A = this chain, B = another copy of it.
Amino acid sequence: MSPYIVIISTGSELTAGRSVDTNSGWISNQLFELGWKVKKFVTLPDDPNLIFSELQSLQNLSKEIPVLVIMTGGLGPTEDDYTLETVLKLTGKTSYSVEKAKLRLVKIYEARGKEYKDILPNVFRQTFVPEGCKTLDNSVGIAVGFIENIGENSYLVCMPGVPSEMTEMFKRRLVPELKKLYPRENLLQKTKWLWNIGESLFQNDFIEPNRNEFFKDAEWGVTANRGYIKCIFQSTNEELLTTIISRLESQYPKIISDDVFQFVHEQLLKEKYTISVVESCTGGLLGKKLTEQAGSSAYFMGGFLTYSNELKSKLLEIPIETIETYGAVSDEIARVMVDGLCQKTGTDYGISITGIAGPLGGSDTKPVGTVFIGIKDPIGKTIVHHYVFPGNRESIRENASNTALFLIYQSLKGKDV
């Protein structure tokens, strides 16, 4: 039995439009993986009356059906953080300071060379939770999260609004608790990525024709990302899931992948390959993505940012005439960039990116979105790929660097790239 799920985000910066709430969508996606659909998102300013009346009406609803409320924000140290006080008013409970969280706070301050007495009293507020609740400890920040019973089979979960704290707490602490609170039959899930294809085309070409055969006993969902869509399939029938995935693989052999970020990281470590990059239009974004995971120093050596033609020439010894002949955004320049890169760095893999991120600089033959990506593999073969990515400047740069990671994936998989 699934609860009626509502996600609440609090923060005046959200309702004022100064920040965009990404927490609710992220939580909803994660809950989908547990087999649950969210009924409603609510975003409220840091106003204790508004928060209270929203929670109260959900508490009333819990007299009729099981309700699960997941609320983020308002657990910080400042006076406009009202979550705890509102929950106490709702439940009529008192609060206490979680000893472990207090010790952790003191340690963090000491590590910064400060003493106990330097800690402002309001900072300690973050270690308080309602008595008798289930606590959710925070391994990233300070504020402690908690789960409070608000009715029969109904719970209110409070977590910090800082995404890095919330996501870690959600995965490590909340998911196991939710599975205990709302046990359900084992839902299996498989996820695949498809590259450079739109959601609606995928739905038209894969979901519709297979609707009767597959999607009576399986659910599907698609998340659009920059360069790829993530296709998620869920069912309690493992065999059916396997059939769906193999149909997907045979329909899209050249553009299908698993989680590229994870695979590239693990496989480069495993094969002890090194990699370097030379970036033009992405300005460092590929390097940033290749160093997101701890331990990336084992394979990522570095490289060059050659945004200007002058530096393409100076740092990689590409004659200015060659650049002028072919244009900086061309198959030829992507090729000499990656070859020059690997000569300088001596890594097993090399990647070059040169393109037109726009909004200006496009032409009839090379419109905005045109990107050439060169990849040199460990046996020394260089291939240059040509793309025209959609969207604005940010989207084109994200597309280009994600697609570069897909090319490394394909090469590591031994597939044609």
Contacts and interface: CB of A to CB of B under 8 A. Distances in A.
Contact of A287 (B43, B279, B388): B279
A277 interface: yes
Contacts of A230: 18
Give the interface size bracket for A toward B. Answer: 35 or more
B29 A14 contact: no
Interface string A279-315: 1111111111011101111001111111110111011
B302 A307 contact: yes
Contacts of A77: 198-200
A297 B280 CA distance: 10
A315 B344 contact: yes
B308 A305 contact: no
A231 B20 CA distance: 17
A152 to B, nearest CB: 21
Given A297-B307, A311-B345, A344-B315, A43 B41 contact: yes
Given A77-B200, A285-B288, A305-B287, A17 B26 contact: yes
A16 interface: yes
B25 A20 contact: yes
Q: Is the interface of A mostly helix, strand, loop or mixed?
A: mixed
Contacts of A123: 200
Contacts of A198: 77
B302 A305 contact: yes
Contacts of A297: 307-308
A199 B76 contact: yes
A360 interface: yes
7 nearest CB pairs, A to B: A284-B284, A284-B287, A283-B291, A17-B29, A17-B28, A41-B43, A17-B25
